[in-house]
Structure 1
Amino acid sequence: MESEMKTNLQFVDLLNEWDPFKLKNGHYDTEIADTIQAIHELDQPDKLAKRIQSIYEFSFEQSIPIDECLKIAKQLFAIKENSSCSI
């Protein structure tokens, strides 16, 4: 349980740093929560990228290029895989 919490905090840090709309920290709480939920539900970076794109587009009414979403999705999956290996 503690490792899952630590992993989720790593997701939060990465997504806050990503800041696709250059709003600075703290403006993405809802999107980050939705994205973390999606990470746990999905098992492929391309599906996660599409979900991330739609989450942020719904909130901000602006689209993020899918290649940017895929890049962050791959980084999120790398964190997820590292955490599952260290049980």
Structure 2
Amino acid sequence: METALMNLLLADELNEWDPFHIGGGSYDTEIADAIQAVYALNDEKELAERLQSIYEFSFEEVIPFENCLKVAKKLLIIKNDSSCSL
């Protein structure tokens, strides 16, 4: 899978998440940071912590860790599926 396609799939997953229920398309900065974190990390717990931190920094509200962990697992599946097809 091409990097651009993987980035779109990751962005779609993150937009769908909408942890603060403010509507998709409202998280562009956080999505960019989260995608960067997906490339940097391979551990779902570390990625979940990073996601939690990214969104907390922007919205000054903590997302429950379990919610972040669910999304982190999905994001890493997309990443790993992408690397398998190369």
Asked if TM exceeds 0.5, the reply is yes
Per the alignment, residue 50 of structure 2 pairs with 51
Per the alignment, residue 26 of structure 2 pairs with 27
Per the alignment, residue 65 of structure 1 pairs with 64
Give SS of 1:16's match. Answer: helix
* CA drift at 1:52: 0.2
Q: CA RMSD in A?
A: 0.8
Which whole-Å CA distance do the structure 1 matches of 2:41 and 2:55 have between them? 17
* CA drift at 1:40: 0.4
Displacement over 3 Å in runs of 4+: none
Per the alignment, residue 13 of structure 1 pairs with 12
Which whole-Å CA distance do the structure 2 matches of 1:71 and 1:41 have between them? 18
Higher relative contact order (CA 8 A, sep 6+): 2
Residue 10 of structure 2 aligns with an amino acid whose one-letter code is F
| Structure 1 length-normalised TM | 0.96
* CA drift at 1:18: 0.3
Unpaired runs of 5+ in structure 1?
none
* CA drift at 1:25: 1.4
Which whole-Å CA distance do the structure 2 matches of 1:25 and 1:19 have between them? 6
- Percent identity between matched residues is 56
